C-alpha cells in the first residue's frame, strides 16, 4: 500500500475491511462499523471522503474547517474533509460507513496533467452532509472490490481512482477548473501500440500509468480515448485478453490451471476461475474438458 503517512487520528475501532494489504496506490479504502463514540484527527497528506452505509439514520456532530454541522446521516450521505483540515466527529448509535482516503499529491498530479492547472493553488472545499451519486457509485464499486479482494485487478482500481480524482477537482475545488474534452478516440497507430504492449505483458502487473505513459498523456484522458476507440475500458480489455490467453493455454497445453493463471496475470487459481466463469459461463476445468 503506497499512501502517505497520516497524522495521528484518534479512533475507537479497527476497520472491518481495508485495502491496506492489497497494494492499491494513491487510495486507501476502509469499511467501519462501530457503536456510539467520537473521533478526531488531521490528515495532512490525504483528502478524506466518508460515505454512510448505515441502515438507519445516525445523529452525527461534525466540526471541520472551523464550521460545525449536526444532523442525521443516512445511507448514501457523504462528507468530505480536505487534507490539513482538523476534524472532530461524535455519533449517537451504531455507525456504518466507508472511508476513502486519496493522496493529496495524486490529486495535485491529476490537476497538473489532466486539467493543466497549477496544483499549488489547488484547494478543496470541506463538505458536510451532501449527496453525490457519482461518488456514491464509485464508493460502492470500491467496496465491492474490497469484498472480492480486488477481483477486477489493479488497472480497474487505478481507473476508479482517476475518475474520482477528476470528479473531486471539478465539483469540490474552490476554483472550478475546466476539463478539456478530447473526441474521436486514439489514432490507430497509438491504439495498436497500446494493444501490442498489453499482449506482450499479460503476465505482468500492468498499470494505467504505464499505458498512459506510452502515449505521453494523462491517465484520465488515455482511459477516455481508449474506450472511445474500441468501446471498452482498458481494465475490461485487459481482463478479456487474459481470459483469451487462458483459453488458448487450456486447449493447447497440459499445464496446470494454477500455472496458467500466473502466466496470464491472475493472482491465483480462484482469481482465474472467477473471471473465466464471468466471461465464458463455465470454469477453466470444464472448458478444458470440452
233-286 tens-digit pLDDT: 999 999 999 999 999 999 999 999 999 999 999 888 988 998 899 899 999 999
Q: At residue 65, does pLDDT exceed 90?
A: no
198 located within any domain:
yes
Does any domain span residue 280? yes
The pLDDT of residue 142 is above 60: yes
| Residue with cell string 483459453 | 247
Are 111 and 222 members of one domain?
no
Task: Indicate whether 195 and 273 sit together in one domain.
Answer: no
Q: How confident is the model at residue 22 (pLDDT cuts 50, 70, 90)?
A: confident
State residue 111's pLDDT score.
Answer: 86
* Stretch among 163-167, 180-184, 212-216 having the lowest mean pLDDT: 180-184
Q: Which residues are registered as beta bridge partners of 100?
A: 29, 49
- What CA–CA distances, in Å, run from 98 to 140, 189, 203? 9, 42, 32
Dihedral sign computed on CA atoms, order 219, 221, 227, 230:
negative
* Model pLDDT, residue 1: 42
CA distance 17 to 216: 36
Mean pLDDT of the chain: 87
Residues 198 and 124 in one domain: no
Does residue 73 sit within a domain? yes
End-to-end CA distance of the chain: 41
Instruction: Tell me which of 182 and 102 has the higher pLDDT.
Output: 102
The rounded Cα 32 to chain-centroid distance in angstroms is 18
Neighbouring C-alpha atoms within 13 Å toward the C-beta of 180: 15
178: confidence class by pLDDT, cuts 50, 70, 90: low
- Closest of 58, 95, 80, 85 to residue 134, by C-alpha: 80
**Residue 46 pLDDT exceeds 50:** yes
pLDDT of residue 3: 43
In this structure, is residue 192 part of a structural domain?
yes
Residues 38 and 133 in one domain: yes
Residue with cell 496506490: 25
Closest by CA to 162, choosing from 100, 236, 223, is: 223
Residues 188-197, mean pLDDT to the nearest whole number: 93
Q: List pLDDT tens digits, range 82-103.
A: 998 988 988 888 889 999 999 9
CATH number at residue 126: 2.60.120.10
Angstrom distance (rounded) from CA 171 to CA 164: 10
Q: Are residues 48 and 107 both part of a single domain?
A: yes
In this structure, the answer to whether residues 93 and 133 fall within a common structural domain is: yes
Question: Quick check: is 154 in a domain?
Answer: no
Domain assignment present for residue 183? The answer is no
Domain count, the chain: 3
User: CB-based burial of residue 136 (10 Å sphere; 0-12 exposed, 13-18 middle, 19+ buried)?
Assistant: middle
Q: Is residue 259 part of a domain?
A: yes
Query: Is the pLDDT assigned to residue 105 strictly greater than 80?
Result: yes
Grid cell at residue 8:
495521528
In this structure, are 21 and 136 located in the same domain? Answer: yes
| CATH classification at residue 258 | 1.10.10.60
**202 is in which domain, residue-wise?**
188-231
Helix ranges (H only) for 99-233 are 104-114, 133-147, 154-172, 188-200, 208-215, 219-230
- Look at residue 185 in the predicted model and tell me its pLDDT: 82
Are 141 and 218 part of one and the same domain?
no
Same domain, 226 and 246: no
Considering only CA atoms, which of 165, 26, 28 is closest in space to residue 107? 165
Q: Which segments of the chain are extended strands (E)?
A: 17-18, 27-34, 37-41, 46-52, 58-64, 67-73, 78-81, 87-92, 95-103, 127-130
How many Cβ atoms are within 10 Å of 26's Cβ, its own excluded?
25
| Mean pLDDT on 169-184 | 74
Residue 7, domain member (yes or no): no
User: 54 and 131 share a domain?
Assistant: yes
Residues 50 and 143 in one domain: yes
Whether residue 69 is found in the same domain as residue 165 = yes
154/209 Cα distance (integer angstroms): 11
Amino acid at each position: 500500500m503506497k499512501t502517505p503517512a497520516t497524522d495521528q487520528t484518534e479512533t475507537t475501532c479497527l476497520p472491518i475491511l481495508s485495502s491496506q494489504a492489497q497494494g492499491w496506490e494513491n487510495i486507501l479504502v476502509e469499511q467501519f462499523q462501530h457503536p456510539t463514540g467520537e473521533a478526531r484527527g488531521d490528515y495532512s497528506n490525504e483528502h478524506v471522503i466518508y460515505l454512510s452505509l448505515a441502515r438507519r439514520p445516525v445523529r452525527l456532530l461534525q466540526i471541520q474547517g472551523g464550521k460545525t454541522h449536526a444532523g442525521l446521516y443516512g445511507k448514501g450521505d457523504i462528507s468530505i474533509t480536505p487534507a490539513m483540515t482538523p476534524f472532530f466527529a461524535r455519533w449517537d448509535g451504531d455507525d456504518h460507513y466507508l472511508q476513502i482516503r486519496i493522496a493529496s499529491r495524486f490529486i495535485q498530479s491529476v490537476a497538473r496533467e489532466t486539467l493543466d492547472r497549477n496544483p499549488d493553488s489547488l484547494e478543496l472545499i470541506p463538505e458536510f452532509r451532501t449527496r453525490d451519486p457519482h461518488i456514491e457509485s464509485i464508493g460502492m464499486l470500491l467496496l465491492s472490490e474490497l469484498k472480492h479482494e480486488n477481483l477486477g485487478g489493479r488497472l480497474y482500481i487505478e481507473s476508479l481512482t482517476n475518475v474520482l480524482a477528476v470528479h473531486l477537482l471539478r465539483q469540490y475545488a474552490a476554483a472550478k477548473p475546466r476539463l478539456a474534452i478530447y473526441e474521436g478516440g486514439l489514432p490507430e497507430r497509438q491504439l495498436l501500440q497500446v494493444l501490442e504492449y498489453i499482449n506482450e505483458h499479460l503476465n505482468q502487473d500492468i498499470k494505467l500509468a504505464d499505458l498512459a505513459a506510452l502515449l505521453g498523456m494523462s491517465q484520465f484522458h488515455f482511459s477516455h480515448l481508449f474506450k472511445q476507440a474500441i468501446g471498452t475500458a482498458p481494465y475490461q480489455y485487459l481482463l478479456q485478453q487474459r481470459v483469451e490467453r487462458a483459453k488458448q493455454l487450456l486447449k493447447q497445453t497440459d499445464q496446470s490451471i494454477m500455472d496458467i493463471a500466473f502466466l496470464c496475470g491472475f493472482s491465483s487459481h480462484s482469481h482465474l476461475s472467477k473471471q473465466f466463469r464471468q466471461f465464458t459461463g463455465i470454469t477453466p476445468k470444464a472448458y478444458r474438458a470440452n
